[in-house]
A = this chain, B = another copy of it.
Amino acid sequence: MSSAQPLYARLKDHVMNRIRAGDWKAGRRVPSENELVQRFGVSRMTANRALRELTADGYLDRVPGVGTFVRARAQQSSLIELRNIADEIAARGGKHAARMVVKEKTPTTPALARQFELSKPSKLDHVVLVHEENGVPVQIEDRYVNPAVAPDFLRQNFTKITPTAFLLAAVPVEELEHSVSAIQPSREQRRLLKMQDGEPCLALHRRSWSGGRVVTSVTLIYPGRRSALYSRYRTSANGTLSH
């Protein structure tokens, strides 16, 4: 089962696995191109491509004449990464919990059929849950899923694995659509987020595609009082924005 993966991709994986596992922490020097050439028996151009692409991807810093290092804050190039909120909270040192509010199969309304690009009426999976950080509600997740793409979705226990984590593992995402707006929360949403009257919310809507079909359509609602979306990144050498 020798992988058909190209050599430079295997080198990238090797480095990323060390970083993800925590073996190589921020600021640590990673092997030089010549060291990779020695250890893996590849040409220097191949080692160079691996490290160069990881740098463009935001994971490494390279300093000519000095070396290559694990970047301090992994670059967050998009305002919205497809991340698991449980991981985000854990990264901040908080304790995540999720509370189920709705878990059902529901027939498509015309609006839902349009969102899922379905020509015929069908059934969709629907869940609503509230994510909490240290007991404080921080996000409402209102999600529809196409069961033709992710059949086992409704059978999961979403207090143990978040819908995002399940879908990320179950379905390869090929395309993403995001939009963000400010909304006045409904009474029910205010209650779930334990918000004061009059406070606005940030609504993030996302659709994802796999194999040309819409996998899921989700609305994430955050209390507006603190910024829910943040990114910081460098621009690439040629002046276009790095992505």
Q: Is the CB of A200 within 8 A of B176?
A: no
Name the CB-closest residue of B to A49.
Answer: B49
Select which of B58, B231, B235 is within 8 A of A173 by beta carbon: B235
Selected from B77, B182, B238, the residue in CB contact (under 8 A) with A224 is: B182
Chain B residues with CB under 8 A of A176 = 231-235, 241
CA of A80 to CA of B231 in the docked complex: distance in angstroms?
10
The answer to whether A78 touches B243, judged by C-beta atoms less than 8 angstroms apart, is: yes
Pair A79/B79 contact, Cβ less than 8 Å = yes
A241 is contacted by which of B78, B224, B229 (Cβ under 8 Å)? B78
Alpha-carbon separation in the docked complex, A13 to B240 (Å) = 11
Question: What is the number of residues of chain A that contact chain B, defined by CB distance less than 8 Å?
Answer: 54
Q: Does A148 contact B (CB under 8 A)?
A: no
Please tell me if the beta carbons of A183 and B230 are within 8 angstroms of each other in the complex.
Answer: no
Whether the Cβ atoms of B243 and A242 lie closer than 8 Å is yes
Q: Are A182 and B182 in contact (CB under 8 A)?
A: yes
- Verify B180–A13 contact, CB threshold 8 A: no
Contacting residues of chain A (12-41) with chain B, CB-CB under 8 angstroms: 12-13
Smallest beta-carbon distance A181→chain B, Å: 4
A184 and B198 within 8 A (CB): yes
Residue from B177, B205, B241 in contact with A81 in the complex, judged by beta carbons closer than 8 Å: B241
CB contacts under 8 Å to B, within A198-217, are 198-202, 205
Please provide the chain A residues from 158 to 200 with a CB less than 8 Å away from any CB of chain B in the complex: 172-184, 198-200
A residues with CB within 8 A of B? 9, 12-13, 45, 56-58, 75, 77-82, 172-184, 198-202, 205, 222, 224-243
